[in-house]
Structure 1
């Protein structure tokens, strides 16, 4: 590492002609990235391939494209190939930053400048290799190796960030790309870590990491609005956070920032796969056409279509078009490797929402599909995805020779993906959901009591409370959430209902300005309930709500019940 020596260097214009080699590499990589973002995937890789063994930036971007492909296909061969390519890219970065390949000490000023670029690329390679390690292997040794890579990457980013902020920092012609790379790395780390619950974050901070959400967002915004190689990566991360993640966590969307980023990057076809969920929020019906256009935009990587299929499935779910939603779940179950257990569960769930006497598409039977769900269980980073675990637990009801039907499995999973917030601005959609819940409640009351009756009634109370909240009937919504809490001892299987009802009630209180009551309920949900379905999701939502309230950690002891 040459960062201490570098602080006292100044760039010599006589060396500018040599630096053009770096500039030409960056310009060509920008062109290749433009091709990729406009769905010209093969052309992009062909532009990069000739120089992957000599240019750190060509090697990095080429490996990054292959890693994105591997993460979408989820094919072991693709993951292995991406890992080997990223390892080779890291070796190119090491050679590019090694002073022995240029001249003996004392180091030329230009090479110190090149070495900093090499270190940024190296840190990015380390981080991406760690991600592939977590995907590829499940043993503890691999997790430790991946963790070491993540920490090494973070330390490099942190040191380089301090360096470029120093008054003596050398600024060459390609400095904007150096800054962009560092902003992306530090910003991504801070934003990601800030989403963890406080206890985990304290441990990570003790290990040297930092998790300041606002600081992370500001760095990513700085990187996204500059004309550099990582600007698009910064923008994509921000849009993913503002569209997908904030809704899953139940947070408010920064609509102004989304629109601003969309205006900057509207020319890229690739961006539509990430910004369409923003349109679903306000234009549920028009979103269908937008997703269909997204599928038509390219045919080279079918995995991009799967993102559209997933969103189309939910669009038709919000409209209660069960057969159309089933159609997209069926496509996903056949084509996507990401979560077959989830896709098959959703297929069964949609069929179960149809009347008994209505013909099933393709002659499929929901009971048989529910029974197949556990056979598709998989592990990512050594663990089964929480949504798959949830689907498998719910599907167990159908193992019995005469299974007891789930009351509203689609609406229950819709809640897990924060769908009731998605439809909050569409009164007609909420009204449709309320009709479905009312019919399900009537069926429950008319059916003989069984071991699932209490759980099913509480589920319907929770979902009805969300609909009533959307309709502005806050007192009625509060009563629904309280009914779940008061039935806590009667619940036998779906223990997640109680802490989630407390969270929903606290969010209702926040909207009414009842801050102290909300904080009390959030701490109760946080501390009094453990080892229930989708616990991590609920804990993330609690953390987000407390952060929004800026609750004093000291209040925790006073409100703990």
Structure 2
């Protein structure tokens, strides 16, 4: 994170060298290991497992860096290979040593969160899942394993089981409240994706009251769910949607001198939705779902995707009848991007491509939401990849 967020080149190099020292320690240990005979002792197993974990984690982490950034990192001695990193972590997690659980947790975090945001096709890895089930049987009451079990159920489209596992995770212990907050976050998303606005608001409210991770995100989550709830409910909770939207700006936090990107995004959106009218009530939520890869999370449930597609169609009709004078093109382009995304998940590639192209054709008319263009090129590139047209996929993914 420090490598990405730091603004000055000098600080970038300093932080890179600092983190790099631990990377080189692992590399040195790897060299030393070749000179030590394997005596099958416990100490040797712990050393080998620890080195695999360290090098695997570094390779995986660095492979996620943008290519241009990775070239700079290569100058100060870094190198990152995703396949090597995943293989080392899996080997480490499969062996008996003190770092095997850390290796497994790294894999679980990667496949349950990182790969959901940056992956292409499969959401989960069968080898990792099999290994995870072995650990789950061995440690059935481990709250962290219960949490990842719930998350993996969500990614498979089994939201009912996910909620049961999240409840188990909460009831298992009360000492580590941060785990409860993680569960509240996933509960909120389960209810958002299932279109249960009241329960989604309930968990967003719990997070805003008890968690300090990102007050801006939690208050914005409350506002976008209130937008979809009836006025009598809004009055009953004594909340004002516009006030919540405008409050987000004051709740932003800074990391290494810079605003957290997702908080900066929701703060700008909060100002827009809190000071204007005429926008489709589900629009802020749809945009929020896309920002958190929610459509990919529910991609295993065609009926859910179809339900959200109906909501998008309704919004498109409303905005075309009464387009906003300032944001009209931006709003329609957002819905076209999301419509194309839903159609892609439903396997209707030709229709999806049409709506993606609608966004690209209007890119010069966008006034504020210029981020829609690169994301549309990305989704179009993924679509061509899924069709097997790798040249077109590369062309769109390389588009600036």
Calculate the TM-score normalised by the size of structure 1: 0.66
Matched residue, 2:103: 234
Q: How does 1:89-488 map to 2 (within 5 A)?
A: 146-166=15-35, 168=37, 172-251=41-120, 252-266=122-136, 267-268=138-139, 269=142, 270-282=144-156, 283-355=158-230, 359-360=234-235, 362-398=237-273, 400=275, 403-405=277-279, 407=281, 408-488=283-363
1:4-42 Cα deviation digits (max 9, x unpaired): xxxxxxxxxxxxxxxxxxxxxxxxxxxxxxxxxxxxxxx
1:300-345 Cα deviation digits (max 9, x unpaired): 0100011111111111111111111111111111111111101111
Give me the whole-angstrom Cα distance separating, in 2, the residues matched to 1:514 and 1:352: 41
Structure 1 residue 437 displacement after superposition: 1.0
Give me the whole-angstrom Cα distance separating, in 2, the residues matched to 1:477 and 1:256: 29
Give me the whole-angstrom Cα distance separating, in 1, the residues matched to 2:7 and 2:340: 40
1:457-499 Cα deviation digits (max 9, x unpaired): 0001111111112222221111111100001111100101111
Q: Could you say what secondary structure the match of 1:472 adopts?
A: coil
Structure 1 residue 240 displacement after superposition: 0.4
Give me the whole-angstrom Cα distance separating, in 2, the residues matched to 1:412 and 1:150: 35
Q: Give unmatched runs, 5+ long, in structure 2.
A: none
Structure 1 residue 516 displacement after superposition: 0.8
Structure 1 residue 174 displacement after superposition: 1.3
Structure 1 residue 373 displacement after superposition: 0.2
Structure 1 residue 171 displacement after superposition: 6.3
Which segments of structure 1 move beyond 3 Å, counting only runs of 4 or more? 137-148, 166-173, 355-361, 402-407
Question: Mean alpha-carbon deviation: is it higher for 319-328 or for 358-367?
Answer: 358-367
Which has more radius of gyration? 1
- Taking only aligned residues, the RMSD between alpha carbons, in angstroms, comes to 2.3
Q: Could you say what secondary structure the match of 1:444 adopts?
A: helix
Q: Give unmatched runs, 5+ long, in structure 1.
A: 1-130, 529-561
Q: Could you say what secondary structure the match of 1:174 adopts?
A: helix
- 1:360 to 1:201, Cα distance in 2 relative to 1, 3 A: farther
Is residue 184–residue 207 contact of structure 2 (8 Å, CA) maintained in 1? Answer: yes
Structure 1 residue 444 displacement after superposition: 1.2
Question: Mean alpha-carbon deviation: is it higher for 278-287 or for 440-449?
Answer: 440-449
Structure 1 residue 403 displacement after superposition: 4.2
Give me the whole-angstrom Cα distance separating, in 2, the residues matched to 1:300 and 1:357: 37
1:119-145 Cα deviation digits (max 9, x unpaired): xxxxxxxxxxxx8x99xx999998766
Q: Could you say what secondary structure the match of 1:425 adopts?
A: coil
Give me the whole-angstrom Cα distance separating, in 2, the residues matched to 1:193 and 1:420: 27
Give me the whole-angstrom Cα distance separating, in 2, the residues matched to 1:438 and 1:361: 31
